Structure 1
Amino acid sequence: PAGEHLKLTDFQGQRDLVSVSPKAMTPGCTVQACGLRDNMDELKKAGVAVLGISTDKPEKLSRFAEKELLNFTLLSDENHQVCEQFGVWGEKSFMGKTYDGIHRISFLIDADGKIEHVFNDFKTSNHHDVVGNWLKANALTPQAALRCGLGWP
């Protein structure tokens, strides 16, 4: 629910795509979020849940999720504490001006809470494809899981 305080460790035990975006309801963030929304079945088949993080207020994120019919959790990091821990908060420049802000990067976090992969080379329009292609290329087959002693559901 909006305004509820959560920690990323609350999501441990599952694979999560943590998608860090600069600002909700802007063209780039909307395209990226809707791409994830539209490809959620593929992500779920790969055993991946999606968490979107920005420094927007919870109320704005709720409006964004409702307006765009987003089917994943949006988390507010107003004081950019999580963004700093992930190393995505820092100096940016736009139209000759320099400021501190969020660098658009996504992290695939494994069930143990460790970073499995970093996605930092994509356009907002192909983010979901870059993630999906990586997941397909790095899928753990049932045979490989058994060979590694992981079992298979």
Structure 2
Amino acid sequence: MPIHLTTAQPSNAPTIARLVGDLLQGIMAAIGTQAFAFSLVETEARTRAWLEDGSYIVLLAWDDDVAVGFLTLSECRALYAEGRFGIIPELYVCPDRRSQGVGRALMTEAKRLARSKGWTRLEVTTPPLPQFDRTLAFYERQGFSVSGGRKMKVDVR
């Protein structure tokens, strides 16, 4: 059955939070490290708040009434990017739906949305680890190119 896409509403927060948990569990299993703290309750509340205030966009992929993937977008600004651009913080497709066009459909819609917002580009980060070679290849097939650097973080709380 073909998938259909929707732009998430605050009422979709529980579904998105569950999918985020699946995404993070998959990453941690692949790298063998407890890299993320995850609270379903806190993630649901954060998702709902960000959808309500319009600061986060979530595209959901559905097979009938079952969510099978999602992609998140947030607006950023940078001088090097020549203005406003979008970042894709999360992209996840349920394992049993991978290689069936779900990710491609989400990415196509994300690019369309980015153009409609006048963003100069979309950026995404994936770890330069062998466990994520398929992820990197997917992004390259979607037109992304390596732009250098590594994603780094420092906790400030």
TM-score (norm 2): 0.30
Considering fraction of residues, name the structure with more helix: 2
**Higher relative contact order (CA closer than 8 Å, sequence separation 6+):** 1
- TM-score w.r.t. length of structure 1: 0.31
